Amino acid sequence: MEWEKLAPELSVVTDSKIILLVIDGLGGLPIQGKTELEAAHTPNLDNLAAKSACGVTDPVFMGITPGSGPAHLALFGYNPLKYILGRGILEALGVGVEVGKNDLVARGNFATSRNDLIVDRRAGRIPDSENKKLCQKLNSSLKRRTGIKVFLYPGKEHRFVVKFSGKGLSDALSDADPQKDHKPRVPTQPLSEEAAETAQIVNDFLDEAIDILKGSSKANTLLLRGFSKHPALSTMHELFKLNPAAIANYPMYKGLARLVGMKIVDPGPTLPELFEATEKNYDKYDFFYIHIKKTDAAGEDGDFEAKKEAIEETDSYIPRLLALKPEVLAVTSDHSTPSLLKSHSWHPNPFLLFSKTALPDNVAHLSEKECSQGFLGRFQAIYAMPLLLAHAGKLKKYGA
């Protein structure tokens, strides 16, 4: 029997609390003998690991490099192979865009192009204020299209969402993004015959937008990926009888949380404000998803030292989570982002589960190597949710 069919039968409502702390891109690869996590000074996480059951998770399968969408879905208890989500819908919902049945959305980057090559896919991580001005400029300058409306919504730094509204639009499109710097711009391609007209609409928009931006030194081109329409998922309340909340800064993660029925708690932009928001709202919910982005951003930038420092900063807030006395506290990641690779990778994620019912193992430090020797071993991330529910007393016995 599938977990999603079994979960509603076994899940029960209790007063117990679960905190899932996701340190995005936590796992790494050694540089000068140590990963970022091994090099970081993490006394609180190490002390917690020594009292926890530990393991490592594969978001999808061994060897599969996941996007943030499927990786998070697995942690939330959803089969990442069953629900194929484009980054566009996650980003759109995260910034509060209403997505209807005739809408197509995509996640966008402002980027820098020189001599027909994309030299910086993130346009130097332009400030939010400049992003907003660029979106306003494009929205006021784009020509009107018969039967199609196009609108851009600013996100964080270089990111934005574009929404195409009109009948018959298809999301069977390839990414209009070379995925790597120092490669030429690529148009979107239709992945089915029915998507040919939509591909033309998108490529015409990109040509026009790039012409409008040609005077900009940094953000002079656009990249689009994750074309998607609105999917239908059961909520975490329907599946697990949870009253869940998401505490995250970045739109895409808010969008994913909203998609599975979490209430969105908007903290301020800093790390301390994430934990303050958790404390202020602790009496309102029984499941808390807390997302840390800085580790992943540093890994993608190839900045080993910045990622190590982000891990250390996160470590300093662990006592505040423990002071809340949740029945279950889990610390893990959605995927690994080694600064050595400057990208997501297929390497498994360290995982610890702290609860009075969790059997501590011999792990003394939270690290990739030590967690792999823990009691939980190596497992698929979709099994994290039943473990969290079980240790929180939220699953009844199966069968007679």
My answer on whether 203 and 306 are in the same domain is: no
Task: Pick the last residue of a domain from 228, 254, 271.
Answer: 228
Provide, rounded to the nearest whole percent, the portion of the chain with pLDDT above 90.
Answer: 79
Enter the tokens of residue 40. Answer: 């970081």
What is the rounded average pLDDT for all residues in the chain? 93
Q: Do the domain assignments include residue 320?
A: yes
Across 70-80, average pLDDT: 94
Give the Cα separation of 289 and 17 in Å (integer).
11
- Provide the 8-state DSSP code for 195: G
Give the Cα separation of 384 and 133 in Å (integer).
42
Give the Cα separation of 177 and 225 in Å (integer).
6
Q: How far is CA 144 from the centre of its chain?
A: 34
CATH of the domain at 374: 3.40.720.10
Across 56-61, average pLDDT: 96
Least confident span in 92-106, 296-310, 356-370 = 92-106
Q: Do the domain assignments include residue 398?
A: no
Q: Map residue 213 onto helix, strand or coil.
A: coil
When pLDDT is cut at 50, 70 and 90, the band that residue 1 belongs to is: low
My answer on whether 295 and 360 are in the same domain is: yes
My answer on whether 362 and 387 are in the same domain is: yes
pTM of the model: 0.78
Give the Cα separation of 234 and 330 in Å (integer).
23
My answer on whether 197 and 277 are in the same domain is: no
Total structural domains within the chain = 2
Query: In Å, what is the CA distance from 389 to each residue of 17, 35, 135, 192?
Result: 10, 31, 43, 41
Q: Do the domain assignments include residue 311?
A: yes
Judge whether 21 and 327 are in contact, CB under 8 Å: no
Q: Do the domain assignments include residue 152?
A: yes
Task: Pick the last residue of a domain from 228, 250, 267.
Answer: 228
Give the Cα separation of 392 and 328 in Å (integer).
6
- Provide the 8-state DSSP code for 395: B
Q: Do the domain assignments include residue 374?
A: yes
Judge whether 156 and 297 are in contact, CB under 8 Å: no
Q: Do the domain assignments include residue 396?
A: no
Domain with 172 in it: 91-228
My answer on whether 243 and 99 are in the same domain is: no
Query: In Å, what is the CA distance from 344 to each residue of 49, 59, 86, 299, 334?
Result: 24, 12, 16, 8, 10
Which pLDDT belongs to residue 59?
95
Which pLDDT belongs to residue 230?
82
Across 144-171, average pLDDT: 92
3-state percent breakdown (helix, strand, coil) of the chain, nearest 5: 35, 25, 45
Q: Do the domain assignments include residue 400?
A: no
My answer on whether 128 and 238 are in the same domain is: no
Q: Do the domain assignments include residue 199?
A: yes
My answer on whether 309 and 358 are in the same domain is: yes
Give the Cα separation of 388 and 108 in Å (integer).
34
When pLDDT is cut at 50, 70 and 90, the band that residue 259 belongs to is: confident
My answer on whether 97 and 138 are in the same domain is: yes
My answer on whether 96 and 195 are in the same domain is: yes
Conformational region of residue 381, where left means phi above 0, alpha means psi within -120 to 50, and beta covers everything else: alpha
Q: Write out pLDDT tens, residues 275-298.
A: 999 999 999 999 999 999 999 999
Where are the strands (E) in 312-380, listed by range? 328-332, 349-354, 377-380
My answer on whether 294 and 159 are in the same domain is: no
Task: Pick the last residue of a domain from 176, 208, 228.
Answer: 228
Comparing CA positions, the residue from 330, 235, 314, 248 lying closest to residue 281 is: 248
Q: Write out pLDDT tens, residues 184-216.
A: 999 999 999 999 999 999 999 999 999 999 877
My answer on whether 248 and 340 are in the same domain is: yes
Exposed e or buried b for every residue in 363-394, given b needs 16+ CB within 10 A?
Answer: bebbbbebbbebebeeebbbebbbbbbbbbeb
Query: In Å, what is the CA distance from 270 to each residue of 88, 267, 292, 315?
Result: 25, 8, 10, 15
CA torsion through residues 60, 122, 342, 293, sign: negative
Which pLDDT belongs to residue 268?
85
My answer on whether 40 and 163 are in the same domain is: no
